[in-house]
Structure 1
């Protein structure tokens, strides 16, 4: 999910600092999550999606094809 968040953040031309302020997620905690050190919660993803103006599904990993 971190990769999807980073992609959407870059697409929106926004900074981690902006996302932190917009979501209320502490900047250091957010950075840790973006570097795969901590997991995002569903609340995090909802807040991030709202801030970026995208559906939560845009931040979820793509489903794997059957049989893999």
Structure 2
């Protein structure tokens, strides 16, 4: 289950980065996550924290809910 949630969140972050025309390097610099840590999170190897998601959403000008799984 955790892996599924990780993948959904990572995919949402990547999708919003693409939509904004921004790179993962831009995002890591903007939110203070190292490039290595961000790559691990985007690969679904490590969870994004709530703080990460809030900072990512703010950097991209979107709602945090756009980065989280939708209820079924």
How high is the TM-score relative to the length of structure 1?
A: 0.91
Q: Secondary structure at the match of 2:29?
A: helix
Unpaired runs of at least 5, structure 1:
none
CA distance in 2, matches of 1:26, 1:32: 10
1:43 lines up with 2:43 in the alignment: no
The structure with the largest alpha-carbon Rg is 1
User: Which runs of at least 4 in structure 1 moved beyond 6 Å after TM superposition?
Assistant: none
1:10 maps to 18
Alignment size in residue pairs = 64
